[in-house]
Structures are given as structure tokens and as C-alpha cells.
Structure 1
Amino acid sequence: MKLGVIGYGGRIKHVIKSIQKEEPACVVQAIADIRPDVVVEGRAEGVAPVPVYRTPEEMLAAEKLDGVLIGTRCSLHTEMALKVLPTGIPLFLEKPVATTMEDARRLKAGYEAGKSRVVVSFPLRATSIVRLVKEIVDSGKIGTVEHVQAVNNVPYGGVYYHYWYRDERETGGLFLQKATHDFDYINYVLGLEPTHVCAMTSKQVFKGSKPAGLKCADCDENRTCPDSTVYGPQKTANWEYCSFAEDTGNEDSGSALIRYASGMHVSYSQNFFARRSAGMRGARFIGYKGTIDFDFYTNEVKVTMHHAPRTETHRFESSQDHFGGDAVLARSFIGLMRGESESVSPLEDGLASALLCLKARESALTGTFQTVEW
């Protein structure tokens, strides 16, 4: 099966490897990228080089493709998707599916008028952990879920201040970067529609008076700064920029309260300066009969019954591909290309998560409750 790629970046390369691991017959047939020197990794000797087109339009017109993957920077996800949707070619779309309300509305309209079926890059909902949590919730074992407490303390949060992600014009803010995953798996488990959201963000750590554009390598404090990416524990070749410069974007913590159609509510909080074993990502789903508690980093799900002296613990084997979710997304996309199955993470859900994130961002900016509607 022939894959076309729009934006051949690091994340989409990983997705392609996951697809090829599931189905070696999938090959990168063509790339659309603004960089003319893009080379496909792992290409066998004697095989013709993959053609690189300057625009998606050129690629789509010249190639017969079985699937298209979009891995551009975030601000271009909507624009590129709108070029593919009318073709009917199955599409793998990275999150966030949109970074502005205008783009979200355009994408919704383009999808409803288009022909392509879509897999959105939401691996968390596809993990064994979340699928077990949903199975338990759907069984009624803990009763109806009446409260959710969710948290994401990101131990690798430096990527949002040292790398290109520091540009809020590209990311749309960190609700769209990280909470979009968490909001999606929460919506998926609950099976309910969010109706209102209020949110707050803070920027207390990653700010400062260092000159704009300063790189860690050029800073006279790069041997003593605990966030140095040249000598410190955050040492990472691609993370070039000073996280304490005056042009460092993005909030460094954020929280949201979300009301659902049933009247219950979810509390969610994310943080980007926690480090090492302080990293945590998971939630508590609480019903009258019991509580489900899980953390992706410990690979455990605990079910505590409220009216019986019993706690069940489920442990999962560790996996590096988004806790096993990437493999499920890969199989789903292969199934779409073959016409054999439906998407495990359709664009309707990608749009719902983006809408909730955009409304949370608006709430944080204006200090108001926001109605979650188009």
C-alpha cells in the first residue's frame, strides 16, 4: 500500500514505522515537504528515491495513493487536511486537528462535505489501560460515573519552551498540545457530551529577561542553569532555545472544570515543570459504588469498591509507543486503507476535543465560563 506524507517530521516518521511494523507492504510512495533535501530513512538499496513535491496539490495530482499522513507543524494541520478530504483517500491526521476556532469550523465543514475517512492521532484512547477503564465503566460495576479527577504532570515539559513548540502561533497553547489527548480519552470513557468549561492558566516558571532568540549554547549560565540543554539534565540536541528568555511562549500550568450533559463535572490539571518521578498522567473515575484509579506511568489500574473491603489491581506491561496506543492507531489506519474497518479515533472526536480545548483557552483568557458549542 502506497503512503503519501505531507510534512515528513519526527512524529510522523514514528507513526510510519508503527504502520510498517504491522504491515510491511506499506511503503512511503511520495512526500510533500517544503524542505527539498528530505530523505526517507531505511530505504533499501537499489530502490528509486521517494519523490519530494513542493506542495500537497502536486503530490496528490501526480501519485496514486492508498493513504495520506499529515505531520506538519500544528498550525497547518487544518489547511493540509482540507486538501486531502475531497479526494476520498484515507487520512491519518496528527493532533491538534485545529489551532484556532476559525480553522476548527473550516475543518468541520470540509469533513462533512468531503469523502475521506480519518484516523486522528489519539493513542491514549486506544491503550489497553483506557480500554479496560471503559469496559469497567460500561459494565456498571462502579455505578454511573459522577465525578472525574484527571492530571497530567509532564516530566519532559521542556520541549514546549526550548524547541519550536515554544511559539504559541504554532501550538495554539498547551490545552491544544496536551489536554487534547486527555479530554479525548475522558470523553471516550464517559460517552457524554461536554456542555460548559471554565479554565485558568499560569506562567510562573518559564519566563524571564534573557534576550529574545537566545540559545542555550550562547548563554553564559549554561553550565549552572538546571534547565540547560547543553550541559544539564535536560541535555537535548534539538532543544536549542533559552526557556527563560523574554520570547518564551506557552503557559506552564493550566486547569479546567468541565460540565457534562448529565450534570456531573470533571476537574483536569496539567503542569510542565514537574520532573523525574513527579511525572504523572491519569485519572480517577468515581461512581457511587466504586472508584477506578489509573496512571499511565505506573501501568496500573485500581478498582476500589466503596461498599466492600475489596480493591482490584490490574498491571500492564510497559510500552514505549504511547503506552501501546500507536500500534492500535496503525492497525486502524491499515484497516481504513483496506476498506475493512472503521476508525478507532474518527475526526468527529478530534473536532470535539479541539473545540473543548479552544473553549478552555478562551475561558482562561477572558475569565468566563464558556459554552461548548460550535
Structure 2
Amino acid sequence: MKVGIIGLGYRMGYLARIFSLMVPGFTVVGYVDPAPAGLGYMKEHGIAAGRAHDSPDALLAAETLDLLMVGSPNAMHLDHIRAGLEHGVKVFAEKPVVTSQEDTFKLLELLRTHGTDSVMVGLVLRYASLYRDLTRMRDEGVLGDIVSIEASEHLAPYHGAFFMRDWRRYQHYSGGFMLEKCCHDIDLYQGLVGSRPVRVASFGGRRTFLPGNAPSAEGVNDMEVYHRKPSGWLSTDKVFDSDADIIDFQVAIVEFENGVALNFHTNINVPDEFRRFCVIGSKGMAEGDFVRNYFRVHDARTSQKLIDKSYETTELSAHYGADEQMAADIGKHLIDGAPLPVSVVDALAAGLTAIKMDEARASRAVLDLTDSWRRFDEALTGE
């Protein structure tokens, strides 16, 4: 399997290793990146990166590819995905797929021409054992009708500092923090509910990573805790006084078309981080935590604990064992046509919800998404 990479950052360098381990014959034959931060990681682990090319068109013209992997900054994804599709190559794109409502509709129009199977997306948590167990409880009727969900994604201070130092600190590149980081989680709960959001409201801003909150020690921006996670393109050493325009905390509430309600909270300065959910249904309750690796289910009528499970992960995985499963499943999909648990349309729907959450936060309004979904369907079907 011959693979090209556009945007060889740390994440894509890591994924090249994981795919090489999980997919027979996976070989990177070329890449495009003026500052390939992930190249050193690949060399360290014995993964060849192939030839460097000056542009996506040069890569696609010079190499015969089975897969194009897009890991460039989010705002560049649409152009790079389009280049792959127009050369007849299947594309794997990191999340989020695009950064605006209009680019969402543009990509849907492209998919109408090239087919929704032509693009795969790195919404890796759909492959996690914990999420698969949660959806099994739904499908087996253990939860009954889902009524409401409380969920969160909280990051440790070193990870929050990474966002203040990395290119992702600029909304015009990342699309904003809720989209960049939490589209995983939004996709999980939209997939679980099986319905689209009809109304959203949101509040948040930046209250932690500000100059007044910097530790008093001299050279705070060089302290180990705030530089544990390396950043690449457009990185800065500044943390509390960086020029970031992203938020560092946000809450959102969502009402779905089928009446289910979601309460979601993110914060990037949580010293004992967690990424948990509580799904409450008419017959039972399921709660779990991707970071702390547990899953519990209780019966609503008897309060009996039906499931109390923990999960083992390895140091290789950056997402609770899901990276390896995603690579293996995508390999089977490309080779044998095996189905995947998440589609590019799912990813675009989750992304649009995140975009609307940020619009609601900025406008301090409750937004009705009816017209956005109408345009979404029109772009995909042409009807």
C-alpha cells in the first residue's frame, strides 16, 4: 500500500508508525511539508518517509498512491482533500475535516461527485473499546430510551499550554478549540443519540492562560510542565502571554431533534484530567471515563450494577488503544472493503455542531440549526 502524506506533523508521524504496524505493506513513499515536525519521530522508529515534494500536486503527479493522508493545519484540509480526490486517490484526513460552515458545504458537494467512501476521517474515539461497549448497551436495550447526557473533555495544564504555544492557538488555522479538540466527543454523542442537534447554546472564554495567572517564578514560560508536549509549525515559547485567540474553557448545551439533551464541558487546566460521560436512559445509566479507563452500567429500577469494567492500554497508544484499532480497521476497509464505524459525513455533522457551539458562545444566543441542516443535506444530495 503506497501512501503519501500532506502535513507531516507530530500526529501524522505517529500515525505513520501505527499504520505501519497494523496494515500489511503500508509504505510512505512521499510527503509535502516545509517544516516536517514528525519526520524525526518516523526516523527514530525506523519508518521511511519517502521523497519530499514541493506541493500536493507535485506529490500526486510523481507518485502512484493508494492512500493520501492529510495532516496539514485544519484550515488547509479542504484544498488538500480536493487535490487527492481530483487525482482519483482515497483520502484519510485528520479531524476536524474543515473549519467553517461554508467549507463543510463545499466538501459535501465534492463528496456528491466523488462518493462518501472516498474520504476517511481520524475520529479515533469511535474505535475505542469503551465506546463500543457503550453503543452495545444502547443497541441491546439496556439503557432504554436515552434521555440526557452529561459529558466532558478536560486536559492537564501541560496539554493546555501546548494549545497556547502551537499553531492551533489561532482560530483562523484551527477553527477554534471546541472544533479542534472536542469534535471527537461531539461525534461520539451524536452517534450515540442517532439524531442531529436542533438548538445549541454555549458560554466560555479564556480565564486561566492569562498573564496575571502566570506562576511568579522567573522564566515561567520555560518551565518543564508547560513544554512537556512539543509543538511544531508557528510554535512559540510563550504560554500565559502568548498571542492565542482560542478559549481555555467552554460549556455547551444541546437539544437534539429527538428530544435528548446534552450538557458538555471542556477546560484545559485540569490537573487530574478526565474525559468522561454519564448517559441516562429510561431503563438504565451508563458512565465511563476514557482517561481513567472504566465503564459502569446500573439498572434504573433495581439500582443493580450490571457492568463494572476497566480497560488495559499500552504506552504505544495515544488514545486509549483506539489508534491501533483505527489503523487496523481502515486497513481492512481499504483492502477488503470492510465497513467503518464513522463516516466523513458523520465527521462533518459533528464539526458543524462544534462550529455552531462557538457561534452561540460568541453571540450569546441560542441558535436554531434547522437551516444549517437543510443546507447540509442540499449540498450532499443536490436536492
Question: Letter of the aligned partner of 1:258 in structure 2?
Answer: V
- Taking the aligned partners of 1:20 and 1:170, their CA distance within structure 2 comes to 29
Q: Percent identity?
A: 23
Change (3 A) 1:43 1:273: closer
Once structures 1 and 2 are overlaid, which stretch shifts more, 198-207 or 107-116? 107-116
- Taking the aligned partners of 1:130 and 1:152, their CA distance within structure 2 comes to 15
Counterpart in the other structure of 2:148: 147
Counterpart in the other structure of 2:23: 23
Counterpart in the other structure of 1:213: none
1:305-344 mapped onto 2 (5 Å cutoff): 305-311=299-305, 312-319=307-314, 320-344=317-341
Counterpart in the other structure of 1:110: 110
1:89-238 mapped onto 2 (5 Å cutoff): 89-115=89-115, 117-155=118-156, 156-208=159-211, 223-224=217-218, 228-236=220-228, 238=230
Is contact 1:92-1:333 (8 Å) kept? no
- Taking the aligned partners of 1:346 and 1:68, their CA distance within structure 2 comes to 17
CA apart distance, 1:249? 2.1
Counterpart in the other structure of 1:300: 294
C-alpha RMSD of the superposition? 2.6
Is contact 2:100-2:352 (8 Å) kept? no
- Taking the aligned partners of 1:350 and 1:223, their CA distance within structure 2 comes to 43
Change (3 A) 1:138 1:224: farther
CA apart distance, 1:145? 0.5
- Taking the aligned partners of 1:102 and 1:142, their CA distance within structure 2 comes to 37
- Taking the aligned partners of 2:249 and 2:27, their CA distance within structure 1 comes to 40
TM-score normalised by the chain length of structure 2:
0.87
Once structures 1 and 2 are overlaid, which stretch shifts more, 63-72 or 324-333? 324-333
Deviations 1:44-99 (A, max 9, x none): 99x99822111111111221111110011111112211111233322110011111
Normalized per residue, the structure richer in helix is: 2
How many residue pairs get matched?
360
Counterpart in the other structure of 1:261: 257
CA apart distance, 1:224? 4.6
Is contact 2:3-2:26 (8 Å) kept? yes
Change (3 A) 1:309 1:96: closer
After the TM superposition, list the runs of 4 or more consecutive aligned residues in structure 1 that deviate by more than 6 angstroms.
none
Is contact 1:329-1:344 (8 Å) kept? no
CA apart distance, 1:109? 1.2
CA apart distance, 1:144? 0.6
Question: Letter of the aligned partner of 1:186 in structure 2?
Answer: Y
Question: Letter of the aligned partner of 1:253 in structure 2?
Answer: F
Deviations 1:79-126 (A, max 9, x none): 211111233322110011111222212111112222462221111111
Is contact 1:34-1:55 (8 Å) kept? no
